[in-house]
Chain A
Amino acid sequence: MKLRHYVAFALVFTVIAGCTRQEPETAPTPETVSDVNTDRAQTDSIAAAELARRQAEDGDRRARLAQAQETLSSVVFFEYDTDVIDAEAEDQLRIKSAILRANPSLEVRVEGHADERGSTEYNLALGQRRAEAVRTFLSGYGITPNRLTTISYGKERPAVEGSDESTWARNRRAEFAITGGEISAIPPEIR
């Protein structure tokens, strides 16, 4: 199973789906009332300005959707052999909870990981504990726990290879994958 591919796929899918749905509605041609020729130039310039405004809005919306997507998927890190959610992780999770609240159909899998130190089996329990800590935190912000599934990969799926403190720090983490629904609403927190 290629999780990273899955996440990438989910991302691409959501962006494509977003584009399709957010496709600029064909601007209704303004009714010509009396003198078509005299109004033409003025009408055209109004329509052009309107189109540009809509396009800018759409582009902005797409960017914000992508930002929401990125925020929801951002990796949360942990200290050595602990599932404690630190201040930085709290900030990340609060914004994630806002996105989840704004998009009630969204379902997410929380994946707990550990660094390579320690034993295979203990790290599976540690990864699970991290994923559960995230779920508990999010449910404290009003997210129904059944929208969040958890899985532990222990130390089986390092994000980066290596055996130094910075590598370990990047591998002690929780990842987020959308398993259902999509982001269509952008919460005020990321406007």
Chain B
Amino acid sequence: MNIFRLGVMTLLAAAVFAGGALAQEPREPTGVRLGLMYQPEYQPGLVVLPFAAEAGSEAMAQPIRGIVEQDLDYSDRFEVMRDAGGVEAGEPVNVELWKERGVDWVLDGSIETGPGGDTLLRLVLHDAVYGSVKDDRSFVLPAQGDPNFRMAVHAAADEIVGWATGDLGSAASRIAFVLDARDGSKEMYVIDYDGENVQRITSDGAITLSPAWSPDGSRVAFTSYRSGSPLLYERDMRAGNDRLISDRDGINITPTYSPDGSTIAFSTTVSGNTEIATYNAEQDCCLEQHTEGRRFDSLSPSYSPDGRRLAFVSNRLGEPHIYIMPVGGGEPRLISDYAFGGRAYNTSPDWSPTGDQITYHSRLNSVMQIMVADLETGDRRLLTNEGNNEDPSWAADGRHVVFSSRDREGGGLFILDTVGGRVRPLLRGTGYGLPDWSPALRRADSAP
């Protein structure tokens, strides 16, 4: 038994012990989370061998391997060994050799042709520690020129993360954001999580703000001044058309979807205050008000993964703070740090898909930094300390967040591993803001 597995036993024991103490606080139902077996701080070694290819598919092997290897690296779950050390594609895998080199996982792959003529990506994950095959599956890939090609490879890589850790990766995803056009307008764009495939979504010459993905990734809600006032719209990402969601007097801002996709929660002006309201996106009706401020605002809602609670911003204490409350209304609970007489500024909450954490940004020494609050322990952790960083949004893996930075490395959008602390740039430059990370946009298509 190596240190990794010993660590898991300790973690499990700790979890059982801690479970007693936490029994009074109802926990979010998270389903079967094999991820409990995973010890996130430890990154086991992983190597991706050269992929073999049938005659005629050789040109695909290297690019596909490159995408998979980068995805596994970007998952921050492994220490990826970049040098496969003179191994030839198609050679029998010598796991003993890799184990000696400190590698825990060996991924072998090949490009094959399926019975129906489909291109198949076969992936075999070897557990070098146990000398066994962890999993061996083939995935159907679209043609290399197909717009879904890269996303299909990302989805296969997400499976590998799942085999090794119990939690799927979040590579098959995109990030929506706005870019300041420097002429008074901001337009919406989307980009693949690995920085590929930037697409412009709006061309209104108007201010566009706060894009928010629907849970199935088919729609994006956003605010636009295209009519002159800040109204709420929903873009059908496949058809490319928009529908109006809310055109109430005042502001119609900060949309977010309920986890089942049926409801859009947002903020709008009611009797001079900004209040959180919901709109039934399925039936296209039925506006409901969820907060009632007396000379204060409530905005920027974000649902818990069970859809029963909302995190949001309120300035009821005079300065903006993060609260959570039951969707149906009820006493809000303060989540961010309140110092009496202090000048706190906490906004832009995003509830993690795993349910146990809320990320937001907080002003410290007159710049914004990314924070994460643990809902069970009440602990708050500072995740950035360089530059001015805003508007964090969780990846589907509940581990990574994307945020915008005004001056870090010249500014841009960055992706942060909240566990290991690694930050990588997604887009560099000024004027990028309000990123929202999509849910998984594709699941790997397993061949029979």
Contacts and interface: CB of A to CB of B under 8 A. Distances in A.
B120 interface: no
Interface in B208-224: 209-210
Interface stretch (A9-17, A42-50, A97-105, A147-155): A147-155
A120 B391 CA distance: 9
A149 B109 CA distance: 63
Given A1-B228, A119-B347, A119-B390, A124 B184 contact: no
Interface residues of A, number: 25
Contact of B347 (A121, A132, A133, A135): A121
A125 interface: yes
Nearest to A126: B297
Interface in A114-148: 117-122, 124-126, 128-129, 132-133, 135-136
Given A2-B184, A119-B348, A152 B250 contact: yes
A90 interface: no
A2 B184 CA distance: 8
B253 A121 contact: yes
B299 interface: yes
Contact of B207 (A119, A128, A150, A156): A156
Contact of B299 (A81, A125, A133): A125
Contacts of A120: 209-210, 390-391, 433-434
- B interface bracket (residues with beta carbon within 8 Å of A): 35 or more
A121 B251 CA distance: 10
A122 B300 contact: yes
B249 A125 contact: no
Contacts of A157: 184
A150 B250 contact: yes
Nearest to A116: B406
B123 interface: no
A1 B229 contact: no
A117 B205 CA distance: 24
A118 B230 CA distance: 19
Interface string B127-147: 000000000000000000000
A121 B299 contact: yes
A151 B229 contact: yes
Among A1, A2, A121, the one with the most B-chain Cβ atoms within 10 Å of its Cβ is A121
B312 to A, nearest CB: 11
B181 to A, nearest CB: 12
A128 B251 contact: yes
A132 B253 contact: no
Contacts of B225: 1
B359 interface: no
Contact of A128 (B209, B250, B300, B313): B250
Interface in B248-294: 249-251, 253-254, 267, 269, 272-274
A150 B273 CA distance: 12
B320 interface: yes
B150 interface: no
Nearest to B361: A119
Given A1-B225, A125-B267, A156-B207, A149 B297 contact: no
B347 A122 contact: yes
Given A129-B297, A151-B230, A152-B250, A121 B272 contact: no
B206 interface: yes
A150 B229 CA distance: 9
Nearest to A2: B184
B368 interface: yes
A121 B210 contact: yes
Interface of B: 184, 186, 205-207, 209-210, 225, 228-230, 249-251, 253-254, 267, 269, 272-274, 297, 299-300, 313, 315, 319-320, 345, 347-348, 361, 363, 366, 368, 390-391, 433-434
21 contacts: A1-B228, A118-B347, A119-B320, A119-B348, A119-B368, A120-B210, A121-B299, A121-B300, A121-B348, A122-B300, A125-B274, A132-B269, A132-B272, A149-B249, A150-B249, A150-B250, A151-B230, A152-B250, A153-B207, A156-B186, A156-B207
Ordered nearest first, which 9 A-B pairs have the shortest CB separation?
Answer: A132-B272, A125-B274, A119-B347, A125-B297, A122-B347, A128-B251, A121-B254, A124-B253, A125-B299
Given A151-B229, A156-B207, 11 more contacts: A1-B206, A81-B315, A119-B361, A119-B391, A120-B209, A120-B210, A120-B391, A121-B434, A124-B251, A152-B250, A156-B184
